[in-house]
Amino acid sequence: MEITKPVYFDRFRCLAGDCPDSCCKDWQVQVDASSACRYRALPGKLGDDLRSVLREEDGEAYLTIRDGRCPMWRRDGLCRIQAELGEKALCETCRQFPRLTHDYGDFAERGLELSCPEAARWILEGESGYVTEEVPGGEAAEYDREAMAVLKRTRAKALEILAESDISKALALLLLYGCQAQGELDGEAERPFDRAAAWETAKAMARPGDPAAVLEFFSGLEILTDTWRRRLHTPEPGDWDRRTENLLRYLVNRYWLQAVSDYDLYGRVKFMVISAVLLRLLGGDFRETAQLFSKEIENDAENLDAILDAAYDSPIFTDAKLLGMLLQ
């Protein structure tokens, strides 16, 4: 099967105790069934301590959080399980993060999670480009092949659009192209994307947005950290950061093909645009803000679903108001 990954994927290394944030705090760690079984049978004090914090809900095991941190996270920034038993003893979540894989059966795509500070550095500031390699294995594809072909073709076009030197223009064109791409996914005939005409349409459609309402919406979602709450309440809006293009490339590559599961491409495109608008409104250090956004939004399924719903239902995120906030 074919596996595609960023050129920097294999160069990523966890900063461990030197990480400015940590995947060992704030989150409730899901434990796969095999690891949970191993932890329950583990002898000695480590086994006793693991069993005291291992819980199960709705058939899924997880480690409880104590004082905002995983109880296996030592004060020196290292994991007690890894230190005492080795990396292979880690549960699947901890062993893989921030690496992610979208496996479609006959091909797979790998990447890094923006919510990891070191991964965020590679994603936003590292070398761009992807490599593809053939590996043994793979399974029969169970996805809609025709839909996947449309999604691959339109994703390539979306990435071309992001090369526009003007970030606000690129985002406006991406929003309008997302609408056209959704039509093609729904069965409309393929047609060229007229950037000049789309740009005129974007300027004509734009209406004043409500930045305060955007921040209020995100403040109403589940919040993991006090830092995120403070950022939403005390924003430092500024100009578009040059790294926004890399952020959008990450989002397009991560989410575009996922529309093969439910045929909702445009909701995902609006999520990408909303994300860029929010980061501009928040301001501050772009990499830190993007990493925190990913931790709070991308890694929280309920928050992500709420934004996808609001992309269609909320008057805050109409196409006209999004265009207004992009072009103002």
Q: What is the pLDDT of residues 34-92, one digit of tens each?
A: 998 999 988 999 889 888 888 888 888 888 877 777 888 887 777 888 888 888 888 88
Residue 124 in domain: no
Whether residue 180 is contained in a domain is answered as: yes
Same domain, 287 and 156: yes
Where residue 159 falls among pLDDT bands split at 50, 70, 90? very high
Do 154 and 85 share a structural domain? Answer: no
C-beta separation of 27 from 224 below 8 A: yes
Evaluate the CA torsion angle 103, 106, 109, 110 in order and state its sign: positive
184-229 pLDDT, tens digit each: 999 999 999 999 999 999 999 999 999 999 999 999 999 989 999 9
- Give the pLDDT confidence score for residue 216 in this predicted structure: 98
pLDDT at 218: 98
Q: Among residues 39, 236, 243, 225, which one has the least CA distance to residue 121? A: 243
Indicate whether 66 and 160 sit together in one domain.
Answer: no
**Residue 118 resides in a domain:** no
From the CB of residue 34, how many other CB atoms can be counted at a distance below 10 Å? 10
Q: Give yes or no: residues 201 and 76 share one domain.
A: no
Enclosing domain of residue 84: 24-96
- What's the pLDDT at 141? 80
8 A C-beta contact, residue 298 and residue 114:
yes
pLDDT at 148: 97
Mean pLDDT in the chain?
92
Whether the predicted pLDDT of 115 surpasses 90: yes
Do 75 and 154 lie in one domain? The reply is: no
Provide the H-helix boundaries in 186-328.
195-205, 211-219, 226-233, 244-255, 266-282, 286-293, 301-313, 319-327
The pLDDT > 90 percentage for the chain reads 68
Query: Residue 73 in contact with residue 107, Cβ under 8 Å?
Result: no
Cβ atoms of 227 and 236 closer than 8 Å: no
Indicate whether 138 pLDDT > 90.
Answer: no
C-alpha atoms less than 13 angstroms from C-alpha of 315 in its C-beta half-sphere: 2
Residues 230 and 298 in one domain: yes
Residue 176 lies in a domain: yes
The model carries a pTM of 0.89
Is residue 200 in a domain? yes
Q: What is the pLDDT of residue 15?
A: 75
Phi, psi for 83 (deg, rounded to 5): -65, -35
pLDDT number for residue 167: 96
What is the rounded CA–CA span in Å between residue 12 and residue 29? Answer: 22
Q: Among 96, 113, 132, give the residue marking a domain's end.
A: 96
- On whether residue 237 sits in a domain, the answer given is yes
pLDDT score of 152:
98
- In a domain? residue 71: yes
Q: Are residues 90 and 160 in the same domain?
A: no
Q: Are residues 92 and 151 in the same domain?
A: no
- Measured at the alpha carbon of residue 23, what is the angle toward residues 21 and 28, in degrees to the nearest 5? 130
Residue 16 has pLDDT above 80, yes or no: no
Provide the domain count of the chain.
Answer: 2
Q: Identify how many contiguous H helices and E strands the chain contains and give both numbers.
A: 15, 7
Cα–Cα nearest to 168, from 265, 239, 271: 239
pLDDT above 90 (res 28):
no
Is the pLDDT assigned to residue 157 strictly greater than 80?
yes
Say how far apart CA 241 and CA 86 lie, in whole Å: 41
Domain boundary among the residues 96, 126, 153 is at 96
| Whether residue 307 sits in one domain with residue 192 | yes
Residues 208 and 266 placed together within one structural domain of the fold: yes
- Residue 18 scores a pLDDT above 80: no
- Whether residue 15 is contained in a domain is answered as no
> Which of 326 and 24 is assigned the larger pLDDT?
326
Pairing of strands 2-6, 130-134: antiparallel
- Is 90 exceeded by the pLDDT of residue 19? no
Alpha-carbon gap, residue 177 to 190, rounded angstroms: 12
192 and 72 part of one domain? no
Domain end (from 56, 79, 96): 96
Give residue-wise pLDDT tens across range 236-283. 998 999 999 999 999 999 999 999 999 999 999 999 999 999 999 999
Domain match, 194 and 294 both: yes
Residues 224 and 294: their CA atoms lie apart, in Å, by: 11
